[in-house]
Chains A and B, each alone.
Chain A
Amino acid sequence: MENLDRIGPVLVMFLAAGLVLVLDLLPPRSNKRVLAEVGLVGVVLSALWTAALLIRETGGSPTDLAFAGTVIVDNFTLFFYFLFPAITGFVILGSLDYLDQMADRAAEYFALLLAITGGAMLLAASNDLILIFIALELQSVSQYVLAGFLRDSRSSEAGLKYLLLGATSVAVMLYGMALLYGLSGSTALPDIAAALRTASDGQKAAYLAAAGALAVGFGFKMAIVPFQMWAPDVYQGAPTPVTAYLSVGSKAAGFAITLRMFYGTLGADSIAGDWANMFALMAALSMTAGNVLALQQSNIKRLFGYSSIAQAGNFLVGVAAIASAGGRFTVSSSAVLFFILAYTFTNLGAFFAILAISNRIRSDRIADYAGMWKRAPLLALVLAFCLVSLTGLPPTAGFWAKLYVFNAALRADMVWLVVIGVINTLVSAYYYLGIVRSMFFTDPRVESPVQPTVSLSLSMAVATLGVLAIGLLPGPLLNVAERAATVFAR
């Protein structure tokens, strides 16, 4: 029972997914809102269970293992136990508006969404290569289906591309896992870490090759250059709420496992510097390529695809910024976690505004956002605020996030990376604020007002308040991030 207690929040999500599928078979079949409500109840229960773990202090210590050491429930895990259900809760609220368009497919939609969430939480809690692989696959398979969920040509293309590229990257990742097993003789992460600490020089190259192969698989999830090819097409083709989830949840899951794997397991001094340089290079590439390509986009979902690549580059700056001495992972991992939090609120807020607008005007073209200030003042304000936060200007969450990440990079003596980051911030300001300018300072082609639904307004309000609150008072959440990051202190 103690074992089950540790993964209780995950089990709740899985149960909710199953319940949604079963409920769909029972009469009355007309009311699909019930399914969303089951999902929301699951999210709340899961969060409550996590809170209970936290209060009882059963989870939270770095040695709190379950299931023969395959599952670890430390502060880092608990951080993501809270984050992933929260994201899903938001996405479910945002999907209610979409429900009309997918009449009899709601059950599959919500069940897959809940299964992804459970998989992501399990990924954050995994302490064994085999569990990492299975949790990653659970997410991926569901996401392939959700990307192709609309079954029109664009959505199917998105699903297929995602599947093919995803399968390839996972194959490379498995090769890396096989190398790690061959080197250490164990699939358990602590064993691998121990084997790496005592590894001879002759094994260093193989450990680095394994790290590179793992970075391919995780990099695909994070959508970083050069594993980003799928992002724009999938973001454009997938249903908008799914895009919102992919841009936030899938990315956060990728970074969770990257931190666990590289900081927690492959963090020995002998190779840490080398993979940090690899990540620094990928960060520079991601930021630059993402921002430059975003400049030319005319479809807002596609633009967010490229923007999310650039943002992942910002996260990666944090991952690469390991300090040269003393507590080398604590500053950088807390910066990354804080960035994930800030980005979650910001991007979800932006996507809800986009969802509300594009559902009404039936278009994803940026040109159609012209004069939105006159048609939907509140929506335009929310979107503008979130775009400002994505750019990284005060008084928003994005500002602090960038500040902390760049600060971590400076402490790690990666000045060149910070310079590239700052230049990229300027580039991104051009297209982020370009949308704001078009919404506020041009005349609309059509005058008809745009009204969001209640559920969307609610989730938008929470997300925007979150961005503002973090922007004005970053302290408490930074504390949370720092507490979660203590796991990597050595």
Chain B
Amino acid sequence: MQIHSTEQVVFYLLAVVAVAAALGVVFAQDIIHSALFLVVTLILTAGVYVLLSAEFLSLVQVLVYGGGVSILVMFAVMITRVRDARGPLDGAQKPIAIVAGLAIVTVLVLMISRTEWQQAIPAVNRPDESPVRVQRVITQTDKGQLMSDTDAIGHDLFTTFAVPFEVASLVLLVALVGAIYLARGEEDEVT
């Protein structure tokens, strides 16, 4: 394996640690440790997004997953498993799960490594022989101006993906109604 650029060095650092932390999530015997490993994986993934020049995605990843979701996980652990939080996490299905997991990994690795992937977005400044396909994502508007990826996402959200964007708010509304309804308790507790 030849290293061509600093970006690759950074990528392999991030990737190795992220995968190690992901394994930690699975193999940690303590659910709190699992949750912390998860945070590490999620934040390092944000680093990979930076390498891919997806700054906006990386920021969202840190805010939503590194911040919101991990705190939510911690709260859930704290509230639901106060007494037996330190118990072992393995179930009876462990051997089956290991076999199934390894099988899926093998299939995915074979499939991903053998497939000729398409270059999705016109990339500028990409080193030719780089295994990490570092892209400078620069999208052009109709008028020919260049946009950063944040601009491009905003542009797409309100033009091409207007319907999914609006319906996403409905999903949130429905989730909110459902959460309030289910958490409300019985009728007599409500005046």
Contacts and interface: CB of A to CB of B under 8 A. Distances in A.
Interface of A: 7, 14, 21, 67-71, 103-105, 108, 111-112, 115, 118-119, 122, 128, 130-131, 133-135, 137-138, 141-142, 144-145, 148-149, 151, 159, 181-186, 195, 200, 202-203, 205-206, 209
A183 B174 contact: no
30 contacts: A67-B162, A69-B160, A70-B160, A108-B177, A108-B178, A111-B177, A115-B174, A119-B167, A119-B170, A130-B164, A131-B164, A134-B167, A134-B171, A135-B167, A138-B170, A138-B174, A141-B171, A142-B178, A151-B186, A159-B182, A181-B120, A183-B118, A184-B118, A185-B121, A186-B120, A195-B118, A205-B111, A205-B114, A206-B112, A209-B108
Contacts of A122: 163, 167
B124 interface: no
A165 B173 CA distance: 22
Dominant SS among interface residues on chain A: helix
B178 A185 contact: no
Given A70-B164, A131-B163, A209-B108, A185 B174 contact: no
B179 to A, nearest CB: 8
Given A68-B159, A182-B120, A185-B119, A138 B171 contact: yes
Contact of B114 (A135, A144, A202): A202
B175 to A, nearest CB: 5
B9 interface: no
A148 B114 CA distance: 44
A14 B111 contact: no
B121 A137 contact: no
B174 A71 contact: no
Contacts of A104: 187, 190
Contacts, number: 101
Given A111-B177, A203-B115, A206-B115, A131 B167 contact: yes
Interface residues of B, number: 33
B107 interface: yes
Contacts of A67: 160, 162-163
A164 to B, nearest CB: 13
A351 to B, nearest CB: 23
A144 B182 CA distance: 11
Given A70-B160, A70-B161, A130-B161, A138 B115 contact: no
Contacts of A182: 117-118, 120
Interface of B: 107-108, 110-112, 114-121, 159-164, 167-168, 170-171, 173-175, 177-178, 181-182, 186-187, 190
B167 A202 contact: no
B111 A71 contact: no
B177 A112 contact: yes
B170 A14 contact: yes
A119 B168 CA distance: 11
Contacts of B108: 209
Contact of B170 (A68, A115, A133): A115
Contacts of A141: 171, 174-175, 178
Nearest to B181: A108
A276 B68 CA distance: 42
Contact of B116 (A131, A159, A181, A203): A203
A316 B20 CA distance: 41
A133 B118 CA distance: 22
Nearest to A145: B178
Nearest to B122: A185
Contacts of B159: 68
Given A122-B167, A134-B168, A183-B118, A112 B112 contact: no
Given A145-B181, A183-B115, 12 more contacts: A70-B162, A108-B178, A112-B178, A131-B164, A134-B164, A138-B170, A142-B174, A145-B178, A149-B181, A184-B118, A202-B115, A209-B107
Nearest to A210: B111
A14 B170 CA distance: 9
A159 B163 CA distance: 28
Contacts of A70: 160-164
A137 B115 contact: no
Contacts of A103: 187
A149 B119 CA distance: 46
Nearest to A122: B167
Given A21-B177, A130-B164, A135-B167, A148 B182 contact: yes
Nearest to B115: A206
Contact of A206 (B111, B120, B160, B161): B111
Which 4 A-B pairs have CB atoms at the shortest separation, nearest pair first? A145-B178, A185-B120, A206-B115, A68-B160
